[in-house]
Structure 1
Amino acid sequence: MENIKIDMTASEIGYLWSTYQAETLNHCMLTYFDKIVEDPEIKKVNKFALDSCENNLISLKSLFSKDNIPIPVGINDSDILTTTDRLYTDPFILYFQWFVGKGNLNYASLAINTIARDDIFDFYKNLLTKSLILLEDSRRMLLSKGLWIRAPYIPVPTEVEFIKKESFLNGWFNDKRPLAGIEIASIFYNLMTNAIGQSLISSFVQITDKGELRDYFIRGKDIAEKHIDLMSKHLKEQEIPVPNTWNTGVTSSKEPPFSEKLMLTLVTFLNAQGLSNYGNAISNSIKRDIGLDFTRLAAEVAKYGEDGTKLLIKHGWMEKPPLAKEIIG
């Protein structure tokens, strides 16, 4: 039987295009890290991430070419500037591996649910597998080096109970109850991701000259700090220890290793991930005040992200994503 060519669906084109944009960005970051990392164990983990990224880009280009889809520009080698200065420490580079692993794992798990074609399904299945390996390797190494920060502990349940009052949902007035484990998990996860984002954007403030981009990065740094403070407050109110968020790892270097296009594009990716994380936190929040706070934080990130997108458009750095057919008339 003759093979019948099946065109890509909107979902398949959309996810592949977005994945290519993200992987070109990751490739530049990981290439720079490969040049400056000193710890041989961390270098090995970074090399695995870099090799996986390069293979992903080869596969993506093949899929685009097979269907005569123009290969996007994305971020490329011209966005890595020549410098031998270390902007980041080895521990930060290791934590970034965890960040890439969890980001690819989350995105690929969303994408694969909408994929029909075998070749594209296989691509995301492989991306999931490699992302899980990277996540596991980076987690284990962070633990072995004493860098992994554990979530707070709560008492282990001793019996099964059922909720008897609707006040369990309250959070503002009387009948305040302790935070549920899933609520603490959401707060903790967002504390950690905000801390990594804060470190990255702080490094961009440090290496960017005066102007609207530097002002934008400073605003993002302030937003991350405010969000960390608000989430920490929920833990402190119930005398739950606030984890020491991992927000160091930036050296004193003033030499930019990346183009302004790369930095601004990365911040827009961080905004998108932040919105997704807050959406999950809202769905896991049973207490009204927790859910409302995450809703407010999400709105602030959405506005900040929109302003970043406007800057990308203003500077001519934003590629047009694949669109539906234009309606005439």
Structure 2
Amino acid sequence: MKIQLNASEIANLWTTYMNNLMYIFSIPYYMKKCEDEEICSIIELTLEISQEIVVNVEEILKQENFPLPLGFTEEDVDLNAPRLYSDQFALIQYNALAENGLEFYGLSLVNSTRVDVRDFFTHCVSLTTKLYNQSKDLLVKRGLANSAPTIPIPEKADFVHQQGFLTGWFGDRRPLNAIEINQLVFNIRGGALAGAKLMSYSQIAKSKDLREFFIRGKEMCDKHIEVFTSLLREDDLPSLTTYESEVTNSTIPPFSDKMMMFFIMTIGAVFISKYGSAIGLCNRRDIGLHFTRLLAETAKYLEDAANIMIKNGWMEQPPQATARKALGENR
């Protein structure tokens, strides 16, 4: 007996299709501007992976007579617009895309039941691992990896003996541990990329309201980065590089306002997930409270983004459950 797609599988297939359709139409712009042969090969690989993923999702959904999302078209991208980003930025961006993709596809795999869907997401993990490793190798080769700082190797295993291990706001704070440093660095790196994207969008958005919205997002990213960086500085750990210098001064938009807003919604959801993980993993109270406060601020920004999308008719509705109560009331 054929098993019907469940809600988790539909959600993850739908999201996979929407995201990769955006990449299929936006990546050719980066390819057309690219001059560095090694980076061009990474961009080309990213496009090939997205194309394969979209074809595979279409096959699964069509077998179920499931309507395909509309997503994006060629009208959402101007391939002839001037260069907006350096080749280095494109490399950094698609490595981050692979990083986020690995997390998403892994979670999609473990939330799937049907064999064909599990096989599909297993393949997505394999494809994305290839992209991540190749792009990371090139980042390391170019000195652009923006890695975490080194810390001393402990002499022996040990246990926590005092409640002061959790102290944050009051009393003497212990140094950051490796897990906390990892979370701070992870989110500084993500914030640096998001901040540069928001800055670029503020330059090219057609409406004043959107330009102001993107500027607000850039300022929020700057604040978050400063909070996390200040915690590193307290322990004399180095800060990470930001990417504003990789954005040109062009004011001509290569992407539609709809596509830019969709990207911000997507990356904002990733931030909320990462901040939530950090809250659970960081032991020092002050760090957890910082992430909690900044998560709430990010959620409010995303809510405002959703309202802009709805107001302009840009938000495509995800599949939803049947409104049983309404069915009964309308009989």
2:289 matched residue in structure 1? 292
TM-score by length of 1: 0.97
TM-score by length of 2: 0.96
Are 1:121 and 2:121 matched, yes or no?
no
Q: Is the 8 A contact 1:149 1:245 kept in 2?
A: no
Letter in 1 for 2:193: I
C-alpha distance in 2 between matches for 1:145 and 1:239: 26
Are 1:81 and 2:107 matched, yes or no?
no
Deviation of the 1:81 alpha carbon: 1.9
Deviation of the 1:75 alpha carbon: 2.0
Which one of 7, 12, 16 corresponds to residue 19 of structure 1?
16
Which one of 40, 44, 48 corresponds to residue 47 of structure 1?
44
* Deviation readout 1:133-176 (Å, 9 max, x if unpaired): 11100000011112112211111100122111111100111131
2:64 matched residue in structure 1? 67
Aligned length: 326
Deviation of the 1:77 alpha carbon: 1.6
C-alpha distance in 1 between matches for 2:239 and 2:262: 31
Q: Is the 8 A contact 2:32 2:79 kept in 1?
A: no
C-alpha distance in 1 between matches for 2:81 and 2:184: 37
Letter in 2 for 1:151: A
Letter in 1 for 2:223: K
Which one of 236, 253, 257 corresponds to residue 239 of structure 1?
236
Q: Is the 8 A contact 1:6 1:117 kept in 2?
A: yes
Letter in 2 for 1:158: E
1:6 matched residue in structure 2? 3
Are 1:314 and 2:314 matched, yes or no?
no
Gaps of 5+ in 1: none
What is the DSSP-based 3-state SS (H/G/I as helix, E as strand, rest coil) of the residue aligned with 1:280? helix
Are 1:280 and 2:309 matched, yes or no?
no
Are 1:169 and 2:166 matched, yes or no?
yes
Deviation of the 1:210 alpha carbon: 4.5
1:184 matched residue in structure 2? 181
Higher mean displacement: 202-211 or 38-47? 202-211
1:101 matched residue in structure 2? 98
Gaps of 5+ in 2: none
Letter in 1 for 2:31: D
Which one of 141, 144, 147 corresponds to residue 147 of structure 1?
144
2:202 matched residue in structure 1? 205
C-alpha distance in 2 between matches for 1:65 and 1:149: 42
* Deviation readout 1:177-219 (Å, 9 max, x if unpaired): 0001100000001000000001111100011244211111111
* Deviation readout 1:96-119 (Å, 9 max, x if unpaired): 110111111110011111111111
Which one of 316, 320, 323 corresponds to residue 323 of structure 1?
320
C-alpha distance in 2 between matches for 1:111 and 1:186: 23
User: Alignment identity in percent?
Assistant: 36
Q: Is the 8 A contact 1:81 1:258 kept in 2?
A: yes
Letter in 2 for 1:130: L
C-alpha distance in 2 between matches for 1:46 and 1:98: 10
Letter in 1 for 2:60: L
1:228 matched residue in structure 2? 225
2:89 matched residue in structure 1? 92
Q: Say what the alpha-carbon RMSD is for the aligned residues.
A: 1.1
Deviation of the 1:241 alpha carbon: 1.6
C-alpha distance in 2 between matches for 1:76 and 1:125: 28
